[in-house]
Amino acid sequence: MIKLSIAENKRYFMNEGTPFFYLADTVWSAFTNITLEEWAYYLDYRKSQGFNVLQINLLRQWDASGSDLSCEPFARAEDGSYDFYTLNEEYFTRAETMIEMAVSRGFVPALVLLWCNYIPDTWAAKLREEKKMPLEAVEPYVRYAADRFSKFYPIYIISGDTDFPSERANQYYRIALHTVKQHSPQCLTTLHIQGRLAVLPEEFIDDPHLDFYMYQSGHNSQFQPTAYTLALDFYNKTVTRPVLNSEPCYEQMGYSRKVYGRFTRADVRKAAWQSLLSGASAGITYGAHGIWSWHRKGKKFGVTGEGFDSPYDWQSALKFEGAWDYGLAKWLFGIYGLTDMQPWNIVLKNTEEIRAAVTADYTKVAIYVPVNTVLKLDADLSEYNFTVIDLENRRFGTTSISVQEQITTIDMHDFEADVLLIGIRK
């Protein structure tokens, strides 16, 4: 069983004294939508790809696809709404079985406690008329979850997609964070926040109960540069913590706001590498459109407000090629020892799309180049040997460099897709 901790320099995760690269899949709707047989198949497949974390909503995901299963976390009141004071033991027993299945295969469960639709004043709460969780119900619910699941050493994601709109909403998250840390100090905690949001309330930045930062660059086609701009924002927070992009664009997800188009394998790979080399080097989360909502062909799917296009059937979405690209990122971080990468502003090009990072001891440098070009770098890299990696076809090649007046030039490579350049100091 994996028991994660934070590295001494507060930049990445550790497991039994070894750096741990957080490679998560997004499966928000697992506990309400997935049969145990499907779950076993899914776990075995994602394990083969190198995934080691699963991000799951502990309660019903508000935008999950339709399901024939009848699994609800709370009893129903007379008006059909949740009775948040009466937990459904059968639901949580089933969830515990699913977590045990995942943990036995080497996964760390990352459990969302309070998605924003359950909290008053949030953006999702304003779109939905369902009854919100009473503040007085938060502490007993979180205590119950901690008492039941903390033996698996999960990560507790306190909030889900929240925008921290008011003191009333923040109080929910404050209670949940402090309750779970009081009952499960051995488990790591974080906050999943709204897409493109760079600002956290100061009380959470300063709270010692919070262990690492998550941000999401999200699914709006206009704002994909936030993959790297938000990485830099969180990397430079006044309180240093590991940073990761917990929700980049999902593969084959329709653009948000009902804009025509879908994110391709290349799009999601680009978001990953731009995040990883811009300060969010603790790990990365993948998402497939059809897995997160666990969609079955012919079932209902609809998202009020966001308006994404229809998902693929989960069996098709599970096989999207981009998941292997994310697995490759994890392997490259391990093989080349890229732990503790820090952004390095050396790219001399009229674009911010090319991202560069270097290890703390400057023995290794990594550069992501989305479109082939002659690369000029404001550093003398003559002491480095470079490998160029074709990320689309997973091919490795060599490249030569030249240095003049402290400017390094790397000529165009022979690959047609995006590449990662790895430099190792001789």
pLDDT surpasses 90 at 12:
yes
192 shares its domain with 226: yes
In the predicted model, what is the mean pLDDT of residues 374-402? 97
Query: Are residue 79 and residue 189 in the same domain, yes or no?
Result: yes
354 and 297, same structural domain?
no
pLDDT in tens, 44-82: 999 999 999 999 999 999 999 999 999 999 999 999 999
CATH number of the domain bearing residue 303: 3.20.20.80
- Asked if residue 189 and residue 161 are part of one domain, the reply reads yes
Q: Work out the percent of the chain whose per-residue pLDDT is above 70.
A: 99
Q: How confident is the model at residue 128 (pLDDT cuts 50, 70, 90)?
A: confident
DSSP string, 288-323: BTTTTTT--TTS----TTT-PPPPPPHHHHTT-THH
- Helix-strand-coil split of the chain, %, nearest 5: 30, 25, 45
Give the range of the structural domain holding residue 352, as residue numbers without chain letter.
344-425
Question: What's the mean per-residue pLDDT of the chain?
Answer: 96
Cut 0.95: pTM above it: yes
Average pLDDT over residues 327-349: 97
Residues 79 and 227 in one domain: yes
Domain boundary among 338, 358, 383: 338
**Chain segment 190-217, per-residue pLDDT in tens:** 999 999 999 999 999 999 999 999 999 9
Quick one: 150 and 274 in the same domain?
A: yes
pLDDT of residue 323: 98
Same domain, 25 and 100: yes
What are the tokens at 155? Answer: 């990560």
137 and 276 co-located in one domain:
yes
Q: With contact defined as beta carbons under 8 Å apart, do 69 and 294 qualify? A: no
Q: Does 170 lie in the same domain as 127?
A: yes
Q: Do 331 and 348 have their domain in common? A: no
How far is the C-alpha of 203 from the C-alpha of 52, rounded, in Å?
Answer: 31
Domain count, the chain: 2
Same domain membership, residue 227 and residue 183: yes
Residues 380 and 249 in one domain: no
From 304, 338, 372, the end of a domain falls on 338
Q: What is the pLDDT of residue 303?
A: 66
pLDDT over threshold 70, residue 304: no
Nearest Cα to 174, choosing from 162, 55, 195, 214?
162
Each residue of 207-255: pLDDT tens digit?
999 999 999 999 999 999 999 999 999 999 999 999 999 999 999 999 9
Q: What is the pLDDT of residue 305?
A: 59
Domain end residue (candidates: 338, 372, 398): 338
Banded model confidence at residue 257, pLDDT cuts 50, 70, 90: confident
